[in-house]
Structure 1
């Protein structure tokens, strides 16, 4: 039998290619098997956000309401909620750090509609805000209907 000069190399190359393909398949298997573990950072991020103190509140005036959650961040206060306006209503939020007024924000006037309503109130002081007033008015901003006061570290806001 005549042996070709490159025959052993061809066999060796085939083995190397086969080994390389097996290694690639093994790595791909590890990557796909680890996919659920890569979801952990998203959960950790949610846990980090959840690490900020929160307070819940309801403001109910007849069939109108604004119900939601206050999140106390270090340099701001986040308010997320569900707003339903029967007639014309408006929501205000005012942040304080002790005796220091920080800022007031408001929604636009809503008339006979509902949906999500969120605010971010700047609290650019060391430690952020520790007190937040939220209140509902009619379409006339001077006509107060109902309100709550929320305190950092207290899970439920109380009427004022």
Structure 2
């Protein structure tokens, strides 16, 4: 298999799908005037190196969204923080009667089973801060979370928060 010089411009050339850059050619140093690339033997030659593509831009480390869920005179209000492999729900519960908070993390709508879930204990007639970490151990994490405020296992009010 022979070598194929695809493109040659100024201080670099492409050879067999690799970009070879002659270092120092566009700097305040004396430009390189050698006749062959130190890597492949063509064009240039002063300490040639393989150029790499710029690093991909990463997705935001986390996304935060506000939420409110009500059940009668009770209310749980706060923020959902979506990150790479988990969701954290942080808020304050104003419980009238006995209430608990439950959260389930999902990818897509109406998908079962959830990636993860967590639930608070019951709180009665109080104001209390509640933080619920919910695992979402999948690349990219969850893109939505269901947060419910309930008085018993089969009853409650639900809100869905999307990333």
TM-aligned CA deviation for residue 64 of structure 1: 0.9
Q: Verify the 8 A CA contact 2:99 2:124 in the aligned structure 1.
A: yes
Query: RCO higher in 1 or 2 (8 Å CA, sep ≥ 6)?
Result: 1
Q: 1:90 aligns with which of 96, 100, 109?
A: 100
Alignment match, 2:77: 67
User: Quick check: which one's helix share is greater?
Assistant: 1
Alignment match, 1:143: 155
Relative to the length of structure 2, the TM-score reads 0.58
Alignment match, 1:120: 133
Unpaired runs of 5+ residues, structure 2, are: 1-59
Instruction: Determine helix, strand or coil for the equivalent of 2:125.
Output: strand
Q: Distance in 2 between matches of 1:127 and 1:53?
A: 12
Instruction: Determine helix, strand or coil for the equivalent of 2:62.
Output: coil
Q: Distance in 2 between matches of 1:68 and 1:143?
A: 21
Alignment match, 1:131: 144
CA deviations over 1:111-141 (Å, ceiling 9, x no partner): 1111100010011100000110001111x21
Q: Verify the 8 A CA contact 2:61 2:84 in the aligned structure 1.
A: no
Q: Distance in 1 between matches of 2:73 and 2:154?
A: 20
Unpaired runs of 5+ residues, structure 1, are: 1-49, 153-160
Alignment match, 1:108: 121
Q: Distance in 2 between matches of 1:69 and 1:51?
A: 16
TM-aligned CA deviation for residue 51 of structure 1: 5.5
Q: Distance in 1 between matches of 2:129 and 2:75?
A: 11
Q: Distance in 1 between matches of 2:154 and 2:107?
A: 24
User: Quick check: which one's strand share is greater?
Assistant: 2
Instruction: Determine helix, strand or coil for the equivalent of 2:115.
Output: strand
Relative to the length of structure 1, the TM-score reads 0.59
Q: Distance in 1 between matches of 2:103 and 2:162?
A: 13
